[in-house]
Chain A
């Protein structure tokens, strides 16, 4: 069984749940940016929840199947097409032997997750098949797909059921404006009070430099950091700190101009003050925001963040129990 990549799409890569446990060594988790949609596609097919899928950003690939296989596509709304015939999103369907699977323009969301029965078979690196392109690790030769690549799949664990569909209540609802919840800190005391307030009051637009490493935001007022004598080891810019670890989801504002939300391919540390961290329950949404769409930040406390995480885990549990 092979799947030939005829057109790779814009930035299509093999991803699974990620490579945990190496961030302290500088190797980020990688993995699907929208983990919920990745899991949903696998669970629909009866795959292991963390089987490797294709993450397709903003424009889908064109793939030729040499044998019949069932697939499921979840996440961004790009209608799948088999030999030009539209197929349902969020539902298991068959791709016949010799057929070509393509996708329509993205109508909402940014990333579609294409799971195939059994999951894609690439070599595991540090216990994950996820592609970390910046480090050339995992996936297909450590890079996004190219035309001419040939993908293999693993045998199915349980036979897929064509027509099996995500329950309505579990479908993602995409928007053009997103509200992202943020736990302020740990360096927000370095901001002037007025800047700190403005950061949460203003609407930001996602810049076109928004990728798996980080989401850069524009359109809000520049933030002012308090003047201070740089501590030993910190850079001169007021937004600099002595190098520290960066959590995934942390927001840094180099020179106070454009906030960047770090995502799953981010560097593990550096010398910019983090003024807050997007809560884990909202990180999937970050990966679904298209460049030029709008974002507002809402400050929440740790208790609210943990409550949101419980709710998120309940959603995953509901996905596991779907009929």
Chain B
């Protein structure tokens, strides 16, 4: 199956959880749809949802929760169907 990165659309801070006291949006190994939210990226007081953009299995996160990411950086790896 082809593997593809889920990339950060802009620079900011990546969050795996909707709020600090809530569970992560998805766990590695989980099946995702194109519109599945896998995390948030925050910049300029705005939180934007990061979506899988394809159907498949999210194999791994390439960055830790709450880290600074650059535009285009791979956030997670997806195995497509």
Binding site for B on A (CB under 8 A): 10-11, 57-59, 105-107, 208-211, 290-292
- A105 contacts B72, C-beta separation under 8 Å: yes
Q: Which residues of A contact B7 (CB under 8 A)?
A: 105
Q: How far is the CA of A210 from the CA of B12 in the complex (A)?
A: 11
- B45 contacts A59, C-beta separation under 8 Å: no
Min distance, Cβ A7 to any Cβ of chain B, angstroms: 10
Q: Which residues of B contact A105 (CB under 8 A)?
A: 7-10, 71-72
- A292 contacts B10, C-beta separation under 8 Å: no
Q: Which of A59, A209, A211 touches B10 (beta carbons < 8 Å)?
A: A59
> What string of 1s and 0s marks CB contacts (under 8 Å) between B41-66 and chain A?
01111101000000000000000000
Given contacts A10-B48, A291-B44, A292-B68, A208 and B12 within 8 Å (CB-CB): yes
- A210 contacts B10, C-beta separation under 8 Å: no
Q: Which residues of B contact A292 (CB under 8 A)?
A: 11, 68
If over half of A's interface residues share one DSSP class (helix, strand or loop), that class is named, otherwise mixed; here it is loop
Given contacts A58-B71, A59-B71, A292-B68, A106 and B11 within 8 Å (CB-CB): yes
Binding site for A on B (CB under 8 A): 7-13, 42-46, 48, 68, 71-72
Given contacts A105-B7, A106-B11, A57 and B44 within 8 Å (CB-CB): yes
Q: Which residues of B contact A10 (CB under 8 A)?
A: 10, 43-44, 46, 48
Residue of A nearest to B68 (CB): A292
- B68 contacts A58, C-beta separation under 8 Å: no
Question: Apart from A57-B44, A290-B11, what 15 extra A-B contacts exist at CB < 8 Å?
Answer: A10-B46, A58-B11, A58-B43, A58-B44, A59-B9, A59-B10, A105-B8, A208-B12, A208-B13, A208-B44, A209-B45, A210-B44, A291-B11, A291-B44, A292-B68
Max chain B C-beta neighbours (<10 A), residue from A57, A107, A290: A290
Q: How far is the CA of A209 from the CA of B46 in the complex (A)?
A: 9
Residue of A nearest to B72 (CB): A105
Q: Which residues of B contact A208 (CB under 8 A)?
A: 12-13, 42-45
Chosen A-B contacts, 30 in total, with CB atoms closer than 8 Å, are A10-B10, A10-B44, A11-B46, A57-B44, A58-B11, A58-B12, A58-B43, A58-B44, A58-B71, A59-B10, A59-B71, A105-B8, A105-B9, A105-B10, A105-B71, A105-B72, A106-B10, A106-B71, A107-B71, A107-B72, A208-B12, A208-B42, A208-B45, A209-B45, A210-B44, A290-B11, A291-B11, A291-B43, A291-B44, A292-B68
Q: Which residues of A contact B71 (CB under 8 A)?
A: 58-59, 105-107
Nearest 5 CB-CB pairings of A with B = A105-B72, A105-B71, A59-B10, A58-B10, A211-B44
Residue of A nearest to B8 (CB): A105
Q: How far is the CA of A292 from the CA of B9 in the complex (A)?
A: 16
Q: Which residues of A contact B11 (CB under 8 A)?
A: 58, 106, 290-292
Min distance, Cβ B71 to any Cβ of chain A, angstroms: 4
Q: How far is the CA of A148 from the CA of B71 in the complex (A)?
A: 25
